[in-house]
Amino acid sequence: MAILRLSTQMKKAWRQGFMNITDYNSTQGNWAYNNNYDMFITIWDGTINDYSGSTKLLKMRTYGTASTESGEELITYNSSGTTAATSNGTATWFHIGVSDNNYWAYGTVGTDGSGADLMIGTTTLVNGTEYNFSNIVFKFPSAI
């Protein structure tokens, strides 16, 4: 398969462009025009990637932070402050996207040390209790 290898600066610029549309409100920089998509992380109780059969427990806006680590270009998604859960349930999966049926990434939820894509202190979410999340890391590809 043919490879399109990105120079360091190209990767930074493209990473910034990608981040600007996959979080709530990135700061517009010289690298890339900002487009304020309203992106959320949503946590569900149910079978992964089956949003229609799952119960929505919590929905929070995502904020991205760009960084470089060991030559890798990263986007770290966090919540800003806390948001109250809207239902009781057991968190099993999450997705990141614009709305319930319009998302670009998803994964499993588990307790710390579980190896899940998103690890939290407890998977038992309680309606009305405030939660936040941090450090969902996306590594931008070095080659396309």
Partner 1 sequence: MNFVNTKYLEYLHTGLQYVRPMGNSSNTFWGHSSMIVIYGGTMPTASAFDSGWASLYEPVAGSEVLVKYTATYSTHNSGSGYVYDIDTVPTSGTYVADGTATWAAILPCYDATSYVGDGTYGAYTWGNTSTNPIAMLCDVTAPSGTGLVQLSSTTVSSSAPTFYTSSFQTGV
Nearer to partner 1 by Cβ, of 51 and 131: the residue is 51
Nearer to partner 1 by Cβ, of 99 and 127: the residue is 99
* Bridge partners (DSSP) listed for residue 41: 60, 96
Nearer to partner 1 by Cβ, of 84 and 137: the residue is 137
Rule CB under 8 A: is residue 52 a binding residue for partner 1? no
CA distances from 65 to 25, 32, 73, 77, 136 (A): 10, 14, 11, 7, 10
Q: What is the secondary structure of 93-107 as a DSSP string?
A: EEEEEEETTEEEEEE
Q: Could you tell me the end-to-end alpha-carbon distance of the chain, in angstroms, rounded to an integer? A: 10
- Build a one-symbol-per-residue string for 27-46: x at contacts with partner 1 by CB under 8 A, - elsewhere: --xxxxxxx-----------
The only residue of 69, 104, 111, 132 in contact with partner 1, by rule CB under 8 A: 104
Q: 138: part of which helix (H) or strand (E)? A: strand 136-139
Binding site for partner 1 (CB under 8 A): 2-22, 29-35, 49, 71, 97, 102-107, 117, 136, 138, 142, 144
